Amino acid sequence: MHDDLLLTLLVLLPFIGSVFAATVSSNARNSEAWLAGAVALSCLILIIAAYPAIVANGAIRSEFDWIPALGLSFSLRMDGFAWMFAVLVSGIGFLVVLYARYYMSPKDPVPRFFSFFLAFMGAMLGVVLSGNLILLVLFWELTSLFSFLLIGYWHHNAAARDGARMALIVTGAGGLALLTGVLLIGHIVGSYDLDRVLASGDAIRSHALYVPTLVLILLGALTKSAQFPFHFWLPNAMAAPTPVSAYLHSATLVKAGVFLLARLWPVFAGTTEWFWLVGLAGTASLLLGAFFAVFQRDLKGLLAYSTISHLGLITMLLSLGSPLGAVAAIFHMMNHATFKASLFMAAGIVDHETGTRDMQKLGGLFRFMPITATLAMVAGAAMAGVPLLNGFLSKEMFFAEAIETHLHSVLDTAEPYAAVVASAFAVTYSIRFIHSVFFGQKPADLPRTPHEPPFWMRFPISFLVIACLIVGILPSVTVGPFLQTAVVAVLGSRTPEYSLAIWHGFNLPLIMSLVALIGGALIYVALKGYLQQCADGPPLFRLLDARRIFDDALVILSWRWARFLETSLTTRRLQPQLRLLVLAALLAALVPLYARGLGPLAAIPSRIDPVLALVWLTGCACAIGAAYQAKYHRLVALMLLGGAGLATCITFVWFSAPDLALTQLLVEIVTTVLILLGLRWLPKRSEAVDEPVTFASRLRRQRDLAIAVAAGVGFAALAFAVMVRPLPDTIASYFLENAYLMGGGRNVVNVILVDFRAFDTLGEITVLGIVALTVFALLRRFRPASDSLGAPEQQRVQNAFDEAQPDRKQGDTVGDYLLVPAATMQWLFPVIIVLAIYLFLRGHDLPGGGFAAGIAMAAAFILQYMAAGTTWVEDRLRILPVNWIGMGLLVALATGAGSWLFDYPFLTSHSQYLQLPLIGSVPAATALLFDLGVLGLVIGATVLMLVALAHQSVRKLRAARLSAAAGEESP
């Protein structure tokens, strides 16, 4: 239980902190930093506290049922390797928070920053601690998502937006591949549980699906770790705030890729495919990253490419498939995190103090900030692999592994050389980083005068640099035991003997190190002049801009091909779309009918009531009339449509379905108003100016008529056939019998909606909300046809008349005409509200309910708009339909979730009778609360759509005013 609590807390704490951080006011830098720092520090303390248990038991675990039906559990697991990563994530997270407190400008919206930051940290901890591969993928995607938000933090900046989008596309696509790979693993192993997967290495390696699985997993890992050929997103992610870069590059995002490679190393490594795929990606990233880094002008760009290179080194070590290689890889993950985080922070300080990160502009900063410069030098030396620093140790191990032969091949032979060349470049760019920033000419045109940053901004760097030093000088007594725990967690019984000493004698790795150090320094001396004035990017490769290739690919995929498909397969015209829809429906009905026939028709009514027949005749006449008039007389068509709707309504009453009749009536009213509002924006049609009827158009019309008649008659026949067939033993009888017993309501329809099938209703109201928002969004960008753009003729005449009279103002005529109706509509407002409340309250037992009440309320609101105009109403009545939608959904959800409190499944309802004073015994079910949610949502959705339509005329006025104002200014 103790482990359960600890692990769950570790993953949940950052997310809870994130929610809190989002709610703090936007200028509270200090409280935000305190909150985030406290969260990170508590996580760190929790993790450290778990260490003894991990050493004793190998791993601590916690498991909850998540989706038991699918065999998924929310299982967390922390072994030595995960522990090491968790320490890095939370520890460096804490230091970055401290740093960010001073780095972020007071003008930046910090709540967003710290909120995303904490959520990202939580996701990363989740990746590290997941004991279930599906859970791991989930957190993996969360890291992609939150890194997207963090990289795009300054979203007013185009580079940040592009970088964030690119990172999301690349890592998101990789995440999808990873998910597929994990599903394949699950298929092979029969479980997603990490322990079981790790134990079935042989089964996976010998399975026929090994190669596809490996490729998919690698796609996920390599995109995340920005390995060649997916490396291009990382330099573009440099548009993020520097604390974010420091965090993403050192302990988190990109490390997730190599973390996964190491995690699954026992399962996948050791085969030829693994060696080639991983080895090629690693070697290419190692070399190219180092080479590109030398030629960057941007400080952070240099560091970004160096990250690619160092991760390439780790990938390459993992590719070897030898346990010693894995040890070196794990050790280097740790070391890289420490020095890279400090270097990024140093780069951030330089940027912060001087206002530029361009190495050709910078120089001589040692005089202004000696302490920062010293710290950066030590960290840079660690990056270059200078002895007595931690980078040296893992690099030695790397060299030692590179010269070993693992698998006879060209790649294996080339690896030692690649290692030395890349290390030489690493020395070169490290020297460049230090020399061009802190030494040489004092810069002439810096945006501001630099000086030392505040102590606490420098503190995280100092801390990490001291860690580099201590680890570098006394490796075996400081990190030794922790590394051993981590290595044992990955390698288990295959853990090799290794030594963490600085001095292994005068051997080949040492010579390689020396060659790299001296060679790198010489390269820098040779290139110094060129680097001072060269354009950004490495020679030759500069022309091959990976980013542009990516953008081009995106354009082709999402624009050209999409457009091609759109133009060749679809139409923007409504008529063909409708024709296709109706034809498809016709076919869908005809095919099974042809195959199976109509079946037995039991109870064909022998006698038809003449009154009902008359109602139906009228209804049919109305419907046909509406269709007939739809082209030139839309208002008439709309009225006739209303007649047809009324006929339906009467039919419902006739057959004892008062609930349906009520809803139908209300829907008819609102729909009519909606279409009325929309009519004004339809393009004009006039019988007089229409084109002459050609033979082709006559043919087309007759074809359409035939389709319409076939579909309509067919549908009527189908409906009739269904209705006269004997009622099979369906669930309906169950509902009828149990509505009162189990749902506490006598209105079976309502009980079904809010109780028996409440989950469906929840989905439906969600869809309704989405539809309303979509309609709103579409109408905001609505551009009417040019001929309906201006005010209607009648309005123009009236306005001209009003303006001509000295004692009248615009709109008086229509106001006069509407005086009495407007008064009626305004007086009816409270009446309709009472009606809506009445409909709502009686809903559980009698016809009514949340939906009907919501529609009635919406009608009340729209009547006010019709009576007095948009401006008048909105001056007096604040309707916030979006809030209504949100509240409705929340209330419905909360009601459903409330049943959890009493250990019942989601959306269980409870009903009883309440004794109210004066009123007496009143039925009260929790379903009523759910219905309240439905009510709110229906009001919000309907009003949002109606108001969006009503606003069209106001919006147009505003546009006209703007153009008029522009017209006055220009002459």
What residue ranges bind another protein (CB under 8 A)? 794, 797, 801, 805, 807-808, 813, 816-821, 824, 827-828
Using the minimum distance from each CB to another protein, give the nearer residue, 388 or 791: 791
Using the minimum distance from each CB to another protein, give the nearer residue, 302 or 832: 832
List the structure tokens of 511: 């010579």
Closest approach of another protein to the CB of residue 806, in Å: 11
Q: Which residue has the tokens 């320490």?
A: 87
Give the integer Cα–Cα distance in Å for 642 and 806.
42
Give the integer Cα–Cα distance in Å for 782 and 774.
12
Using the minimum distance from each CB to another protein, give the nearer residue, 477 or 635: 635
- On the CB side of 653, CA atoms within 13 Å amount to 13
Closest approach of another protein to the CB of residue 839, in Å: 15
Using the minimum distance from each CB to another protein, give the nearer residue, 628 or 801: 801
List the structure tokens of 61: 């675990």
Residue length of the chain = 971
Closest approach of another protein to the CB of residue 802, in Å: 10
Using the minimum distance from each CB to another protein, give the nearer residue, 558 or 824: 824
Give the integer Cα–Cα distance in Å for 267 and 279.
17
Closest approach of another protein to the CB of residue 854, in Å: 21
Sequence-ordered alpha helix ranges (H) in 655-728: 658-679, 695-723
Q: Which residue has the tokens 């939370």?
A: 90
Distance between the two ends of the chain, CA-based, in angstroms? 79
Using the minimum distance from each CB to another protein, give the nearer residue, 574 or 688: 688
Closest approach of another protein to the CB of residue 594, in Å: 46
Residue 943 corresponds to which amino acid? V
Closest approach of another protein to the CB of residue 822, in Å: 10
Report the C-alpha dihedral over residues 687, 689, 694, 697, rounded to 10 degrees: -60
Give the integer Cα–Cα distance in Å for 30 and 45.
22
Using the minimum distance from each CB to another protein, give the nearer residue, 218 or 852: 852
Using the minimum distance from each CB to another protein, give the nearer residue, 644 or 863: 863
- CA 573 distance to own-chain centroid: 33
Among 629, 671, 678, CA closest to 649:
671
Using the minimum distance from each CB to another protein, give the nearer residue, 345 or 863: 863
- CA 433 distance to own-chain centroid: 36
Among 578, 135, 465, 500, CA closest to 327:
500
Q: Is 195 left (phi over 0), alpha (psi -120 to 50) or beta?
A: alpha
Give the integer Cα–Cα distance in Å for 892 and 885.
11
Among 298, 295, 221, CA closest to 257:
221
Closest approach of another protein to the CB of residue 687, in Å: 17
Q: Which residue has the tokens 């070169």?
A: 428
**Other C-beta atoms within 10 Å of 570: how many?**
11
Closest approach of another protein to the CB of residue 668, in Å: 16
Using the minimum distance from each CB to another protein, give the nearer residue, 58 or 815: 815
Using the minimum distance from each CB to another protein, give the nearer residue, 635 or 770: 635
List the structure tokens of 63: 């498991």
Residue 416 corresponds to which amino acid? P
- CA 478 distance to own-chain centroid: 41
**DSSP annotation of 484:** H
Closest approach of another protein to the CB of residue 866, in Å: 12
Using the minimum distance from each CB to another protein, give the nearer residue, 111 or 625: 625
**Other C-beta atoms within 10 Å of 475: how many?**
21
Give the integer Cα–Cα distance in Å for 883 and 765.
14
Using the minimum distance from each CB to another protein, give the nearer residue, 57 or 794: 794
Closest approach of another protein to the CB of residue 644, in Å: 19
Give the integer Cα–Cα distance in Å for 864 and 856.
13
**Other C-beta atoms within 10 Å of 87: how many?**
21
- Residue pair 336/382 in contact (Cβ under 8 Å)? The answer is no
Closest approach of another protein to the CB of residue 818, in Å: 8
Using the minimum distance from each CB to another protein, give the nearer residue, 272 or 824: 824
- Residue pair 50/122 in contact (Cβ under 8 Å)? The answer is no
Using the minimum distance from each CB to another protein, give the nearer residue, 413 or 805: 805
Q: Which residue has the tokens 């439906």?
A: 764
Q: Which residue has the tokens 């009739």?
A: 720
Closest approach of another protein to the CB of residue 805, in Å: 7
Give the integer Cα–Cα distance in Å for 923 and 37.
51
Q: Which residue has the tokens 């829907």?
A: 667
Closest approach of another protein to the CB of residue 639, in Å: 12
Closest approach of another protein to the CB of residue 843, in Å: 19
- Residue pair 134/178 in contact (Cβ under 8 Å)? The answer is no
Following DSSP, what letter does each residue of 305-321 receive, concatenated? HHHHHHHHHHHHHHHT-
Cα torsion 103, 105, 108, 112: sign:
positive
Closest approach of another protein to the CB of residue 797, in Å: 6
Closest approach of another protein to the CB of residue 578, in Å: 33
Whether the link from the prior residue into 229 is cis, omega within 30° of 0, is yes
Closest approach of another protein to the CB of residue 807, in Å: 8
- Residue pair 308/226 in contact (Cβ under 8 Å)? The answer is yes
Beta pairing partners, 924: 912
Using the minimum distance from each CB to another protein, give the nearer residue, 457 or 649: 649
Using the minimum distance from each CB to another protein, give the nearer residue, 38 or 676: 676
3-state secondary structure of 803: helix
Using the minimum distance from each CB to another protein, give the nearer residue, 35 or 867: 867
Closest approach of another protein to the CB of residue 943, in Å: 22
